[in-house]
Structure 1
Amino acid sequence: MNRFAKSCLNITIILIALFVLPSTPVQAQSLPTKHVLILHAFTPVYPVHEHYNQGIIAKLDQSTAYKFDYSYEYLDYSRFSHDRGYFQNIAQYLEVKYKNHRPDFIVTEENVMQLLGSNDQKIFPDVPVIIAQDRMDALPEDNYGNHFFVQQANDIENNIELILHTRPKTKKIYMIIGDSNDERIFTERLKEAGEKYKGKVETAITSRMSYKRMLETVKDVEADAAILYFRWLADAHGESYIPEQVIADICNAAKVPVYGVDINFLGSGMVGGYVREPTLLGEASADTILDILNSKSINDVARSRQIKNPCVFDWRQLRKWAIAERSLPENSRIEYREISFWERYKVYIMGGIALILVETLLIFGLLINRQQKRKAEQQLLQTNDALQRLTEKLMEQDKMKDEFLINTSHELQTPLNGIINIAEGLAEENHGRLSQRQNDELQVILAVAKKMSSLIKDIIDLERIKRNELEIHPEVIDLKAALPMAVDVFRHLIDDAHTEIVLDIPPKLPPVLADRTRLIQILYNILGNAVKFTLKGMITLAVREEGHYIRLTVEDTGVGIAKEVQEQLFQAFEQGGESIQRQYGGSGLGLYITRNLIERMAGKILLEWSEVGKGTRFAILLPKAAGKPADGKGQEDYGNATAEPMEISHDTIGQDFVILAVDDEHTNLRVLKSIFGRQAYTVLTASNGQEAIGLLRERRDIDLVLMDVMMPGMSGYEACKTIRESYSLYDLPILMLTVRNTPEDIAAGFEAGANDFVSKPFVAKELRARVATLLMIKKSVQQALKNEMAFLQAQIKPHFLFNALSTIMSFCYTDGEKAGELLAHLSAYLQKSFAIDDTVSTVTIENELELTRAYVEIEKARFGERLAVVFRVDEQLLEQRILPLTIQPLVENAVRHGLMTRKNGGTVTIEVVKVLDRIQISIEDDGIGMETPEKIVQANEVAKKRSGGVGLANIRRRLMNYYGVELCLQSEKNQGTRVSLTIPEQME
């Protein structure tokens, strides 16, 4: 190795040791594990809970003597605080759940003491309980039991003093607090503080107001007043609210500064103040746990810790209300101060550039080392036994180099992924707008980082191959599905005007036995080389059967490979000659890894032909597989192996849609509106199932429902069943959203009438794609209905028109009045047939009966006394909906095939009645009937299989698709035939 190469390698090793390699010592042995149960009073939507958890976990995970695992319980106290038996039920639940996995410590809040006060020794005997308090009260002198306290008070008096100091002209302070059970206790402290400052400043407390009244009060406060927000969990009417949303509403309405007592409210428009910081509270709770573990006796541990609240302000609000920073208390912390883009992200950018430079030096040094090693090996083959010892030494160094390379590659992968994620976030302007120059520089960093990441992955695969640790999972795969997908990816990377990719796949091709993921990697490597080295011309993929193999050839018209390097082409770090390497770059690992992967799948890869300047052809042999691809997997399954799930664009739908989102949590509704806010959707919201059903009755333009499952009163399943009484699966798709995703829950959702099922927490892209898919299906069904209407209208038989006109003409000579009457009936028949609205799927029963009456009047005039028709119709059912052209074709079938085939004719009876909660329609004739029961079965089969015309088959198919019901056919020879159907009630 020359001096320059040694210097580069040494510098690289030093830089990696300083900046990349971890310094954390390896644990010599496993640590004892302690179980910590964290009980929260409210639901996970409160950020204070998350920050409190983070403080506990961050402190405990620093311990070198113990490991900790955590359990969390959220009691939703704000909604169930008035339920007397609630805590008893929770106690029973906790006792059963943690019977076999008891916690070593319990961390909770003061307002959960109603639960633990009478049950902790029963549920968790002798378990230390760390209790967070929001006041600095003195503890009882004795009888602590197993309780420890961490106190962080809401600074009422300090914040009043702060307001008077920063706003000296303040004459009145409005103290905002809600009216839950928990808040009523704290209200007494506010009253005491107000009495203390009586004469110095006037105070007003809003606890007995409704939420609307409180906002109106805030909006109308005096100019010389100030607002001090504590929290708002429930108003005087018992309605629950999220405190973070309340502070945002107050800050939007207020015309004076709003101070607060919780750091979680900062950033919503609050100026600041002496604030409680849940992270500090969590760290203090963790300190108590560590003290207990490190003490000989529990009585040696301090029973109380007190945390002083920091003074924190929002820089933007200080500017808005002209509050000078010099008037703030000493050691105040100011957040949200505007800083430049470079100041904010210079550490990430410089770190990324430094890491890329280190990686470049490392790869450069390794490549030089590889070249030097190859030359040394060639010289050692020509030396004597003395040089053999040097060969063994170099091989040992090569092994050490491989170890170093794989270890370094693994260590570089994590920070490199971090750089890619950070740079992508910046490029997407998630943290503010970028200038064009900044965006260009970020794109360069991304391109270099992604290229380096691909090289590192190849290096890791190379080492796995050397150690024989590369795992292959063969399965039956349809090659016809995999190839088009891979080709489509590379079609985006070529110039269509100069390069063409051609697929030659026979229609019948047996599947292959291969690893699905690795097969995609192989196709990408081979196609990638063909695309890379073919700047102009054609790339052909041909597939043929060859004995026990499937043969895939990839032929290009690119630069070709020189003969002198073809033998080493499948070796590691080899390419198609030095000129190719200089011009096109690359690591030389692709074909080496591809060959190893194919051989591990019992296949082969060959370089069949190559000539410089003319092109190259590779052949891949993969073993045939018996049977069919597992689970019927097709082309869509290969896309998931290499790319993110494709989101269906709204543009592919082609029209605006209205979505109804149903959830009892206001926050979830806001999230859904945010997800679809940038799409061309209109999002309506409902907080429960009853409200959703009411909206559906008021508005007929709703195209899809997003339905939460767990809601008070009427569950999502019950609401879905109610909706399905009026809407079919295609008329109104319903997508269920729930945290419960067991097979039983999914089955229950589909049984209730849901079209699809998405588990929470969901991915926004997946949800948008599923919604778009359901809407596209609905649109397709609507189009099919339009086509169906056009088909039905085209089925008026010419012979009926000819017969009707002939009958009318005969009456013109004998009875002009009768001829005019028949013309009116024919006109009504044609009008009803052609005026079917193709935008709706149903018509009224009255409309269908009018069409039928027009038809039978013409036929009665034609056949005279041979034909009699009787209508038995419940008048209250005339406005009910039915599929068009359902009754009239059945009546026509009865007349033509049941009555007129015999000389004396007969009677057709049309009956429309209500049976229980459904509508029964029957058409009965006293004609020739069927000869045997087998004839009835045969007629039913003909109805099921026959195509064309508005006959029994068409009517049966439409009834099955729309209602899921069958035609019922009953017949007896010489007694007649009865055709009936039963459909649900359906109003417009």
Structure 2
Amino acid sequence: MKNKFCRICTMIFLIFLLAISNMYKVAFAESKIEKHILILHAFAPEYPIHMQYNKGIKDKLEQNKKYKFIYSYEYLDFARHSKEKGYFDNIAQYLKLKYKNYKPDFIVTQANLLPLLEKYDKEIFSGVPVIITKDNNGLQEIKGHSNYFFIEQSTEAEKNIQLILQIKPLTKKIYIVIGDSADERIFVERFKDVEKKYIDKIQFVFMNTFSYNQMIEAVKKAEDDSAVLYFRWLTDIEGKSFIPEEVINDICKVSKVPVYGTDAQFLGSGILGGYVKEQQVAGQVAADIIIKILEGKESTVHKEIASVSNVYEFDWRQLKRFGIDESKLPQGSEIKYREVSIWEQYWGYICAGFVLIILQTMLILGLMINRKKRKSAEKELIISNSSLQKLTEKLISIDKMKDEFLSNTSHELQTPLNGIINITETLTEGNHGTINQRQRDELQVILALSKRLSSLVKDIIDVERIKRNEIQFNFQTINIKSLCDMVSGVFKHLIIGKDIDIILDIPEDIPPVFADENRLIQVLYNLLGNSVKFTERGIITISAVEENEFIKVSVEDTGIGISEDVQGKLFNAFTQGGEDIQSQYGGSGLGLYVTQKLLELMKGEIFLQWSEFGKGSCFSFILPKSNEILEDIKREVLEVIEAEINVKEIENKISSDFVALAVDDEPTNLRILKSLLRSKGYEILTASNGKEAIEIIRSRQDIDIVLMDVMMPGISGYEACERVREYYSIYDLPILMLTVRDTPEDVATAFEAGANDFVVKPFVAKELLARISNLLLLKKSVHEALKNEMAFLQAQIKPHFLFNALSTIMSFCFTDGEKAAELLSYLSQYLHKSFNIDSTSATVTFESELQLTAAYAEIEKARFGDRLSVKFDIDENVKKHSTLPLTIQPLVENSIRHGLMKRESGGTVKIQVKVEEDMIKVFVEDDGMGIENTEGILKEGEALKSTETGVGLTNIRRRLMNYYGTELCLYSKKDEGTKIWFTIPK
């Protein structure tokens, strides 16, 4: 009882003390003296410097217990309005009205606003102490204002130039990113003073005279021996204003060289670092001055003007990206975002392991002591174990039934799901009638949900196969760089329209891995798919390094990151990055689980390298390096395949005079293709990579078909196909892609790159030969059609034109022999160009077509004399580009014969060809008689027959529509003339 009474008394006493303490705190808080701090910022509130500056002021002032500080903020957006007349007058009127009855005790601001304070200070804030942060070589103090206190903050432009040369001594050019606001122009002059000291060493490129797009393009094209120094970009030369944080992101996204900065708050946005200003420290210095003034020590502040020193700070990730050794950095440099070492990351687990071992040892000793008791207990449990075993068997049976049901149901769901997806895509494309936007949006929702469900079904099937150990692996030597290049190529097509760049950072000489190619592609698809899914904008980097007997592959992104509370459960089935992530992004949570199991079965391992919420993530996996054991197996397989090819005869519908180019980085695959195709009489050329294939295609004109492997070192088959299509259409040179993947994404990527067809490896000989046969027959048919087309076009040269031309030349023979010879040359050139068109090619160069047109025009000018004038306005850049043959000359002939020469006075025809972005526009215009019914001229029927237009506008229109999908346009007005034009892609 006595002890209980004492405890009660103690508790009552503690409660009493707590109450007294709270009363004291309330009384003390009410007795604090209030001070109003007005912070005038020069720029918009989005400017990150302001937030750091405000934080420094508040953190320092809140440490003082004597005063209660109240804050007001004004953001004057000086950059956007500095050129407006009367801007400061309007601001002064606004401040005067707002703070008339709420006068501040202190004003904190920057030197940008000194013109405002100097003019209106006494009128608005007379006698109020003003703390001004200014550059150490900026504006001077205003004389006669004892209430002004200055903080010098260094920009040290020259120190950043010295830093760039210290890190990279061979730097030849520095791009200075600085805008064109009134404030920035002052700093341009300071940079130019620095420039004079390095006039013989470095070229400075000042961007204050650039528009924003010009600045971004210049940074994007910066040379390897250059650097970018970002100072400030608030306004460009066009007067547009910008948020610095967004400017930094855009610059770092396109720059291939290091980007240095002068402000610490931009570190982590992609800049390398530099000699930077700490705005939070500047705010703390401003707060120190306020405290000294309140304590009556303002005289010491005037004697010792406060200053803020810069510091050297760098982003560890950018140092690694550009291969910069930390030893090259100035002494005392601070490095942020450094990768956490294995020991730092897992030291707690290691210590816990030791503690666990000790506990286990103690537990074993205790178990040994109780051994006898356990034996007697085991005898009693024998009976209960029998019933427990039956229960366990029943549970196992139920679990097995659940797995079988899930597996069977998933397989059955695949077919109807694919049907739903295909039908929905067809409806969305409008193949079954026009739909409105609301219907299209709803169909897109159905399509997205169906694809999501299909992905879940595939994941469940893989999970069940893993559980049953039914997954078969085909291990082989794989070039990891080529594989990553191929997978990233597919995703680059899928992310068109998203502000994401995919970067491949894998050395050319990295050793191959030993794994199953299809399953490794699945792993990369899952990891890269997650990065694309959770990254709104930024960069996704795929890298690989050699680590002892393994190859480590990493997929790093700048996405939303993963919170710490779920990082440890990421590789569990049906686990995602939290409820918010699941509700926003969806998904099954099986991707990483399947990826982990596949890698384990391939003797590999996956782990989360790092992740920071809001910053991004990096997943890495390791796989064993390949050895040379497979070479003997390959030879044996090759011998079996070659023997089978020699025994079996495959029907060949194509003549034996075709030339095929086989492209593959595996010599074994090339030998198989050569054996297969040579048995059919083809001439076989081979290339081991995409670059070599392109060179062969450019050097030889007799190649009929290309068999292109997708996964190759250097450039992938997709990229090689795209480059070939710059020179040859799908009709001129068929390309058959050889791929190990036949997913919709891979197939779509192949066709978008310009492939005619694809075959999945390992291929069946009959299927491959059949597809080659079809493509060659198609090419042969197209060439026959082209020959017929050219024969038709060439047959349109009218006999009376030749008669008139020869008559004109004969007349000049008696009066002007030199002119007659010149006209004979033009006639020869006209006939040569008309009859020498390559019947195997669908197009000719603009230069050739224009020479034909010019030769025709000169003959007609000689015939009609002063009645006819022909003018050419040709863009020189267009001549090497291609167009359909006999498109321009017939239009000119039509204008002369039917527009000008039917009028006694004649007239002028003007031919104009110009390049606009990615398009070429062709105009033929005359000031002749014009056409009454322009619609009938371009249609089949009586109107066309009555025009007698030679090759005919309808024929030209049809060919343009078939080949380019473009229309032939015509405008005409009676007695004023006719204008006809068409546009084709460059």
Whether TM-score is above 0.5 comes out as no
**TM-score bracket, shorter-length normalisation:** 0.3 to 0.5
TM-score by length of 2: 0.37
TM-score by length of 1: 0.37
